[in-house]
Structure 1
């Protein structure tokens, strides 16, 4: 086991904002527009075409942004949708410094 929270454990993201960096890695400090990309991806049930339409962007651009998110996350976007999605939504509500 890697010592990281399991991506499928929704409660991990809820229990403590301090665990968000463990779930989201460097994505916690990323531009808010970049964090919106995987959040929208999860909201649209991992359908890239719908996300591209909703974000008014080309699908290839979306795929590149998701790839950048994969570089910043401890686990790929597709490998931990529940825990990452919950942590991203909490991050959006609280703000990156927990002040929201």
Structure 2
């Protein structure tokens, strides 16, 4: 089961936040051939960020924790997640970060 942590400002109401997380979970599930309910997604709210010493608007970041998968599937998932982050948090795609992390054994 992939676990996704989205670190970003709260995007709006509880319903808007739930919809954003559902979209991220769906994107990961679709890329991997899973059911939406097979992907856990949580928002880690961020209120401030800096680039060096300069205060900046927080970038939306998604870290997907999961088993190793075919590289083309993880790339598809991460591309879709990045596009969702850019849309929901109204920022350029280049201002998002999505990464797949596998557990070391």
Say yes or no: TM over 0.5. no
Instruction: Determine which structure has the larger helix proportion and give its number.
Output: 1
Task: Give the structure, 1 or 2, with the largest relative contact order (CA under 8 Å, sep 6 or more).
Answer: 1
Output the TM-score relative to the length of structure 2. 0.31
Instruction: Determine which structure has the larger strand proportion and give its number.
Output: 2
Report the structure number with the largest CA radius of gyration.
Answer: 2
